[in-house]
Amino acid sequence: MNQFQQLKNPAAIYSDYKKIHGSMKQLIVNRTHPLRPFLGLIQKTRHLCQWYLDRTAKRISIDGAEVSFLGQLLKFPPKTGFLYSDALFWKGPEAYERETSIVIDTLLDGADTFLDVGSNIGIYSVFAKLKYPQITVHAFEPIPDIFRKNIAFHRANGLDVTLAHNIGCGDTNTTQQIYLPCPENALEEEQTATLRPDSWQASSNEMRLIDIECVSIDQFMEGYKKQIGCCFMKIDVEDFEAAVLRGASEFITKNSPFILCEILPREHGNVETVALVRKLGYRSFAVTREGLFEIKGDDFNRPRSIKDFLLIPADKLDAGIHYIAFSEIKQIR
């Protein structure tokens, strides 16, 4: 156990504070209250403390942490997954992609097969296999350095690595070049590598060009004889999702998986991806703090910060439903 693991998780400390604070009577400070002259100082002190705490969390990275993620303990090996472990350690078990993670967790519960396309170090693959050991998990990560961390992360949590694949997914079986941004002084490899030659990554001055093996999911899964059953897919491939969907069209048509897909705002308006989603018989629901809202066609080309979407087979949902609460997701399946 390292020195950080001996500390109580800050999220737990905050939880204890809320329990104590919640039992206290609300103090109303009117104009004649003796505390009134000190409110400005209290306000500034509070802001300073908050600034210091935020800065501390940004400046201190936990190497080799054990943290809770949506109720499941994850063990991060050394020099792996700072982005995830820091957020979870400092801000609590729902700090990383909270709404997206809740959707993924909900759909993993009861699934038989999980395809993690663009797995990175494998946070969702490892989480899925630990929390729902009955699931068959395929983790696809094409970049060799990141894939080695994916393997190390699996092994640190006592998991088999047979179905972790050092390959990318697209619409053909071929060798391709992937563009990996390499900013100076970065703690780890960037998460924004892409196979698109017309991307901002390709024109970056701080970029590595890496040859990778790429496969179509249709051909890859055709050679996999185990029963698929209830299937869930996660696609996070930095604007290459149209190629992934094209190369998985037969698999998707046959198995009707729910698909959590990152669709980033781009100048091309995601026209190709949107057309494929419609052609495959799916509807797109944006993942937001308040739940899932349907997004159609030209909506993808409008200003938006939303990037994660749940693609749902149209025949699973009444045509009049355009909003889904988090608590209703299981009912759709």
pLDDT at residue number 50: 82
pLDDT at residue number 7: 46
pLDDT at residue number 242: 97
pLDDT at residue number 6: 44
Does the pLDDT value for residue 28 go beyond 90? no
pLDDT at residue number 5: 43
Residue 226 pLDDT class (50, 70, 90 cuts): confident
**What residue spans define the domains of the chain?**
1-95, 97-332
What's the rounded mean pLDDT across residues 198-222? 89
Residue 28: left (phi > 0), alpha (psi -120 to 50), or beta?
Answer: beta
Residue 194 pLDDT class (50, 70, 90 cuts): confident
Kindly report the average pLDDT of the chain as a whole number: 89
pLDDT at residue number 19: 53
**Of 4 and 102, more confident:** 102
Q: List C-alpha distances in Å: 256 to 45, 119, 252, 298, 301.
A: 55, 21, 5, 25, 26
**What digits encode the pLDDT tens for the residues 133-179?**
999 999 999 999 999 999 999 999 999 999 999 999 999 999 999 98
Q: Residue written as tokens 């998780």?
A: 9
Q: List C-alpha distances in Å: 283 to 98, 197, 241, 290, 331.
A: 22, 28, 15, 18, 16
Residue 73 pLDDT class (50, 70, 90 cuts): very high
260, 107 contact by CB (below 8 A) = yes
pLDDT at residue number 12: 57
Does the pLDDT value for residue 201 go beyond 50? yes
**Kind and range of the H or E element at 210?**
strand 207-216
CA 19 from chain center: how many Å?
A: 30
269, 301 contact by CB (below 8 A) = yes
pLDDT at residue number 273: 97
Right CATH for 97-332 from 3.20.20.30, 3.40.50.150, 3.90.550.10, 3.20.20.100:
3.40.50.150
